Amino acid sequence: MAVPGDFFALVLLCGLGLCLAAAQRPSGVECVVFNEEYMTCMWGSRETLTANYSLYYWYKNRSPVVECMHYLQDQGINVGCHFNQSEIIQFQPFHVLINATLGSKTLEIPSERMDLQDLVKPEAPVNLTIHNVSNNQLQLTWASPYPKAQCLEHAVKYKSNKDTSWTEQQVKGDVFSFPSVDYEKYYTFYVRSKINNYCGNTRLWSEWSVPVVWGSNSTSKGAAEEQLHWFWIQTVLIPVASCLLLLILVILLVRMERVWVILMPRIPNPSKNFDDLFITHNGNFQEWAGVPKDLVESLKPNYTESICYVSELPPKDSCETLQESSNHSPSVMPHKHSPYKNIYMGV
C-alpha cells in the first residue's frame, strides 16, 4: 500500500511543478537600450505575475553572474530591471536568467542570447527647422540627442491640410528637401530615427518628434494664438495683478501706520486749543487768559487829550478877508497863493 501512496505524492509534486512553470513563466524578457544612456529589461506585469522574481545577468567570456541592482516593481512585484550606463556593454553576447520563487519552490527561466547593439532605441529628434530654399522648395533640418549621429537613419512623415493620409520617406542624413509646395496649403512635418545597418541590426524606431508646421494658415494661426495670448494678458493678468498689488499696498499701509507715526510725528493742530477764545469769550484775550479785572482797569488811561488843529498862516493881503469871514460861520476856502493847490484850510 505504500507504493501507491508514494506514486500519488510524486504525481502531485510533478503536477504542482508544471503548474508553477506554466503560471509563473514570463512571456519573455524584453530589453531596450535607451539612447545608450540606460537599459531596462521587462518580463511581465502585476496582472500576470504573482511570484517573487530575481534577475541575474552576465556577458559571455565574462564572470561572475551578477544579480540586478535596481529592480522595477509594480505593487511590490518585480517586473523589470534597470541598468545604468556603466553596466551596458555592446558587441558582447548578453545573457539573462530569471528565478521565480513561490513558497519553497524555485523555477529558473533562462533567456536567449541578446546583442545589445541591436536593442538601441535613440531619442526623438529635436529642433526641427524649415528653410525656404526657393519659391517652391523647402528644406527641413533637425538635430538628434543620440551621441553617434553617423549611426542614425531617419524617417520623415508629412501631410498638408488637404491630404487624407500621411506620406513617409526615409532619409540618410539630417536634411530633408521638399521639392514642391503649394502656398494655398499648410504642411505638418514629423521626424523619427533608428540605428542604421552599419552600427546595428534593429527595428526600434524612436518616438516621433514634436511637429513643425509651415504654410499660409500656419502664419495666421500663429498670429491668432499670439493675439489670444496678449488678450489674456491685457484683460485678465494685468487687472488681477494690479488689484493684488493695490491690496498688498493697502495692507502694508495699515500695518505700517504706527511705525510711520513714530518715524514722522504729525504736527499738532492748534485751532482746537483756541475754541474757547473765539466762541466763549468772543475774542477777549484778557478774559480768556484770566487776567484780573482790576489789572485791566489799571491799565486803561485816566486822562483825555485835546485835539490840536494845525494850519498854514495866510499871507498878509488876505488878513482882512479872514477877519470879515470870522464874523460869519466857519467855512473852508482854498488858498489862492499856496503852493499846494489841493489843500484847504479850516478856520
pLDDT, tens digit (0-9, with 9 covering 90-100), for 293-321:
776 677 676 666 677 777 766 665 555 55
What are the grid coordinates assigned to 95, written together? 545573457
Name the more confident of 301 and 115. Answer: 115
Instruction: Provide the CATH topology of domain 19-118.
Output: Immunoglobulin-like (2.60.40)
Q: Do the Cβ atoms of 236 and 229 come closer than 8 Å?
A: no
Name the more confident of 323 and 293. Answer: 293
Condensed to tens digits (0 to 9), the pLDDT of residues 80-99 reads: 999 999 999 988 899 998 88
**Cα dist from 55 to 45, 69, 181, 244, whole Å:** 15, 9, 54, 58
| DSSP characters over 87-129 | G--TTSEEEEEEEEEETTEEEEEE---EEGGGSEEPPPPEEEE
SS3 call for 253: helix
Kindly tell me if the per-residue pLDDT of 324 is higher than 60: no
The type of residue at 39 is M
Kindly tell me if the per-residue pLDDT of 217 is higher than 80: no
Kindly tell me if the per-residue pLDDT of 67 is higher than 90: yes
Mean pLDDT across the stretch 41-70? 82
pLDDT band at 16 (very low <50, low <70, confident <90, very high): very low
Query: Count of residues for the chain?
Result: 347
pLDDT band at 231 (very low <50, low <70, confident <90, very high): low
Q: Where in the chain is the domain with CATH 2.60.40.10?
A: 19-118, 123-220
Give residue 235's pLDDT: 78
Q: Do the Cβ atoms of 174 and 181 come closer than 8 Å?
A: no
Q: Do the Cβ atoms of 191 and 154 come closer than 8 Å?
A: yes
pLDDT band at 18 (very low <50, low <70, confident <90, very high): very low
Q: What is the enclosing helix (H) or strand (E) of 73?
A: strand 71-74
What are the grid coordinates assigned to 230, written together? 496678449
Condensed to tens digits (0 to 9), the pLDDT of residues 149-204 reads: 899 999 999 999 888 899 999 998 889 998 888 888 889 999 999 999 888 888 89
Mean pLDDT across the stretch 104-127? 87
Give residue 24's pLDDT: 44
Kindly tell me if the per-residue pLDDT of 32 is higher than 90: yes
Which of 75-79, 211-215, 231-235 shows the lowest mean pLDDT across its residues?
Answer: 231-235
Which of 52-56, 134-138, 321-325 shows the lowest mean pLDDT across its residues?
Answer: 321-325
Give residue 246's pLDDT: 87
Kindly report the average pLDDT of the chain as a whole number.
75
Whether a cis peptide bond, with omega within 30° of 0, leads into 64 is: yes
| DSSP characters over 168-204 | EEEESSSEEEE----TTSEEEEEEEEEE-TTT-----
Give residue 173's pLDDT: 85
Kindly tell me if the per-residue pLDDT of 227 is higher than 70: no
What are the grid coordinates assigned to 162, written together? 488637404
- Phi, psi (deg, nearest 5) at residue 52: -95, 130
Name the more confident of 110 and 275. Answer: 110
Let me know if domain 123-220 sits in CATH 3.40.50.2300: no
Condensed to tens digits (0 to 9), the pLDDT of residues 236-287 reads: 788 888 888 888 888 877 766 666 666 666 666 666 666 666 667 666 766 6
Give residue 335's pLDDT: 47
